[in-house]
Amino acid sequence: MELNNLKPAKGSTHHDKRVGRGAGSGHGGYSTRGNKGAQSRSGYSSKRGFEGGQMPLQRRLPKFGFTNLKRVEFKPINLSTLEELASRSGATEINLDTLVAAGFVSSSDRVKILGNGILTKALTVTANAFSKSAEAAITAAGGSVVKL
């Protein structure tokens, strides 16, 4: 094998389809677009999910589930984040304003403190909700929990 006789594997390369280039191209006449109709015109693009008039997939499948309008979304914050924030700023009290200023949450978010990580500092943490493990870890470190 030498550089001058290297070739791609058989069937791995394809010629581009050159349409609209006359009869000699092999795609002459209607340039692979067929006779008449929207698809033969320039500027045609089908709607998303259109399957040529066949009943589309999203209409063939049944509806299921529901959206609970009373669901309350919480932004999760772990103990490791609180530990990092306390060591960075030296704060002993962490509330929503502190978390917003640090860029962890936005002012409209509801915050839930989760128990992932280790807390070594005694902190007073104010949030909308706490997991049981987070509450236990904060009080075990000598801190206190304030629920909004």
Strand 124-127 versus strand 144-147 pairing type? parallel
Cα(49)–Cα(139) distance, rounded to whole angstroms?
55
Angle subtended by helix axes 132-140 and 79-89, to nearest 10: 40
Q: What is the pLDDT of residue 115?
A: 95
Q: What is the pLDDT of residue 70?
A: 96
**Mean pLDDT by 10-residue block, N- to C-terminus, for the chain (148 residues)?**
92 90 88 90 90 93 94 96 91 93 94 94 95 95 94
CATH 3.100.10.10 in the chain, residue ranges: 75-147
Q: What is the pLDDT of residue 117?
A: 92
Contacting residues for 58 by C-beta, under 8 A, at least 6 apart: 49
Candidates 3.60.21.10, 3.50.50.60, 2.30.30.90, 3.100.10.10; CATH matching 75-147: 3.100.10.10
Cα(50)–Cα(71) distance, rounded to whole angstroms?
34
Cα(105)–Cα(13) distance, rounded to whole angstroms?
51
Can you give the pTM of this predicted structure?
Answer: 0.59
Q: What is the pLDDT of residue 69?
A: 96
